[in-house]
Chains A and B, each alone.
Chain A
Amino acid sequence: MTPVTTAVRAGLRRGLIELRQTMSTAQDVVNFLLPAAVFLVVMLFLRQVPVKDAPISVGAMSLPSMLGLNVAFGGLLAMAQTLTAEREDGTLLRAKAVPNGMLGYLIGKIVTISGSTVAAVLVLLVPGVLLFEGIGLTSLGAWLTLAWVLVLGLVATMPLGAVLGSLFTSPRSAALVMLPIMGLSVISGIFYPITVLPQWVQLVAQCSPIYWLGLGMRSAMLPDSAVVAEIAHSWRPLETFGVLAVWAVLGLVLAPVVLRRMARRESGSSVAARREKAMQRIG
């Protein structure tokens, strides 16, 4: 076996091991299920509230949007946060000290984050389909749309998350990226139709992948009649593909450069310095 295939295999195994660890740690499972449960309960109360001018409830519309948001959070936030956390605690330095370890580490992260994002989507999708009227994944086309939006969404967001994670040196400052991403998710038509917002806010929202992930998921799962709540009364699949693809290319070009620069700076003393800082914070 060549060193690269060895590392790719090790990385895949690493991802699966970490997924299994997450699923078998009670705390992690609770952290994972609780938000989904809270969201579902809230949306159940909104099951009868209709979206203005559209033949669908706020609950039913929010569910697919939320799936899109989950993908964005997984790719952007979870990626950025694990990267800074594991840089601080020395996981990354260990990878750097091992031959082809960085490659294995990254592949492992991709597997872990994709896996847990898919799980987060399923946790909402399964009860959602059963509980909400109007949500259906009855045609093959609907499943295919769901699949490509999910995959392209991950490809578009994970490299960006990795770039963000490399730019911050402590989990604390990384928490700052939460703010703009939360802000974007509020204006991205996840919780109510984007069309109620002022024009310029709609424009801002349409630059981020979050809006398009929500739209893509809605196009897969909602009845065609619900399209009246969208901009231009269209699901705009080509635009969805285009914008997500642009982010994906941007991320895939930037991430290797930024990651390499970040990795080059890792050393025993830089990890020790961060550890000391973190200890002071705690102590």
Chain B
Amino acid sequence: MEAVLDVRDLRMRYGSADVLTGVDFQAHRGEVLALLGPNGAGKTTTIEILEGFRMRSAGEVRVLGVDPAHGDERWRAGLGVVLQSWRDHGKWRVRELLAHLRGYYTCYQQPWQVDELVTAVGLTEHADKRVMRLSGGQRRRLDVAIGIVGRPKVLFLDEPTVGFDPEARREFHDLVHRLSDEDTTVLITTHDLDEAEKLADRILILAGGKVIADGSADALSRQMATEAEVRWTRAGQRFVHSERDATRFVRELFAQYGEEISDLEVRRASLEDTYMSLVREFEEVAR
């Protein structure tokens, strides 16, 4: 099966600053990918190159089999981009705006019915309001609705939940899961690990211009948390030891001291610990 997103050795340089130095990843149909990384890691740069809004410096990029730098309007119809609204289309009514934007897709594919879409994003009660009368959260739902109105095959969201309250965030997560059930491929950027874990089938961690980890949240915990901390008490004394192969170490410990050992604890660094130390490291380099 052909990958929906196929990125190989993507490089981006602004002036003399190398922001991306060889990014590689693929995404398949219906996958939800989170591009996770500290601020300034190049997430927005990456997603805008995939959206065809920005020219890359080098590398191979295919979105739906097409190079975004040369994507035509038919290709564009297969993409959904969720943009952060501010005060655009303020005088338009929600339903009117969705119906209008829907119209552009009809010659390519079957877009959402406006009423269904309005219900799906939870704006039924506000469908006849002017956009400028919506609350911040309602506006963001409209942004999502606009992004998906054409039933895109691939959906891009750049830090979509900034400014969401916990409830809006949960509803948003539900919506994304529903979209991926319908075979939409979703690429989300975030600097929030918690969000990435909740949303994504796969997490890509972007740091230092490269994808330094790629896998499910579970796989990443195993892959990245290499050292474990082993603590125990023997002869009234507390010991702490850092160890790669904690299982072997503990086996040997018991072989040697047997019942003298008590209060044994093995703690693997969580993905969060690893990510946080990564962010700290990255921010120190940046400074």
Q: Which residues of A contact B (CB under 8 A)?
A: 1-3, 6-7, 9-10, 13-14, 17-18, 21-22, 25, 86, 89-91, 93-94, 96-101, 104, 266-269, 271-272, 275
Which of the 9-residue segments B71-79, B214-222, B223-231, B270-278 touches chain A?
A: B71-79
Given A90-B85, A268-B44, verify A10-B146 contact (CB < 8 Å).
Answer: no
The complex places the Cα of A156 from the Cα of B88 at a distance, in Å, of: 28
Given A94-B146, A99-B105, A268-B53, verify A3-B73 contact (CB < 8 Å).
Answer: yes
Contacts of B21-47 to chain A: CB distance below 8 A: 44
Q: Which residues of B contact A (CB under 8 A)?
A: 44, 48, 51, 53-54, 73-74, 76-77, 79, 81, 83-89, 91-92, 96, 100-101, 103-108, 146, 150, 158
Residues on B with beta carbons closer than 8 Å to the beta carbon of A266: 53
- Asked whether A25 lies within 8 Å of B91 as measured between CB atoms, the reply is yes
- Asked whether A98 lies within 8 Å of B89 as measured between CB atoms, the reply is no
Write the nearest CB–CB distance from A16 to chain B, whole angstroms.
11
The complex places the Cα of A275 from the Cα of B85 at a distance, in Å, of: 10
- Asked whether B53 lies within 8 Å of A267 as measured between CB atoms, the reply is yes
Write the nearest CB–CB distance from B72 to chain A, whole angstroms.
9
- Asked whether A10 lies within 8 Å of B103 as measured between CB atoms, the reply is yes
Residues on B with beta carbons closer than 8 Å to the beta carbon of A6: 103-104, 106-107
Given A21-B92, A90-B85, verify A1-B107 contact (CB < 8 Å).
Answer: yes
Given A89-B88, A94-B88, A267-B53, verify A99-B103 contact (CB < 8 Å).
Answer: no
By CB atoms of chain B within 10 A, which of A7, A13, A17, A97 has the most? A97
Can you name 16 A-B residue pairings with CB atoms under 8 Å? A2-B107, A3-B74, A13-B100, A22-B91, A25-B91, A90-B86, A91-B89, A96-B53, A97-B76, A97-B83, A98-B150, A99-B105, A99-B150, A100-B73, A268-B51, A268-B84
The complex places the Cα of A276 from the Cα of B241 at a distance, in Å, of: 49
Residues on B with beta carbons closer than 8 Å to the beta carbon of A94: 83, 88-89, 101, 146
- Asked whether B73 lies within 8 Å of A99 as measured between CB atoms, the reply is yes
- Asked whether B87 lies within 8 Å of A269 as measured between CB atoms, the reply is no
- Asked whether B48 lies within 8 Å of A3 as measured between CB atoms, the reply is no
Given A3-B108, A100-B73, A268-B53, verify A17-B103 contact (CB < 8 Å).
Answer: no
- Asked whether A271 lies within 8 Å of B83 as measured between CB atoms, the reply is yes
- Asked whether B84 lies within 8 Å of A272 as measured between CB atoms, the reply is yes
Residues on A with beta carbons closer than 8 Å to the beta carbon of B101: 94, 98, 101
Residues on B with beta carbons closer than 8 Å to the beta carbon of A97: 51, 76, 79, 81, 83
Residues on A with beta carbons closer than 8 Å to the beta carbon of B92: 17, 21
Residues on B with beta carbons closer than 8 Å to the beta carbon of A269: 44, 48
Q: Which residue of A lies closest to B109 (CB)?
A: A99
Residues on A with beta carbons closer than 8 Å to the beta carbon of B107: 1-3, 6
Write the nearest CB–CB distance from B196 to chain A, whole angstroms.
19
Q: Which residue of B lies closest to A101 (CB)?
A: B104
The complex places the Cα of A23 from the Cα of B180 at a distance, in Å, of: 42
- Asked whether A268 lies within 8 Å of B48 as measured between CB atoms, the reply is yes
Known interface pairs A3-B73, A104-B104, A268-B53; 4 further A-B residue pairs with C-beta atoms within 8 A, sorted by A's residue number: A22-B91, A89-B86, A89-B87, A99-B74
Write the nearest CB–CB distance from B67 to chain A, whole angstroms.
16
Given A89-B87, A99-B77, verify A268-B104 contact (CB < 8 Å).
Answer: no
The complex places the Cα of A3 from the Cα of B104 at a distance, in Å, of: 8
- Asked whether A267 lies within 8 Å of B48 as measured between CB atoms, the reply is yes
By CB atoms of chain A within 10 A, which of B74, B77, B87, B108 has the most? B87
Write the nearest CB–CB distance from A217 to chain B, whole angstroms.
31
Q: Which residue of B lies closest to A89 (CB)?
A: B88
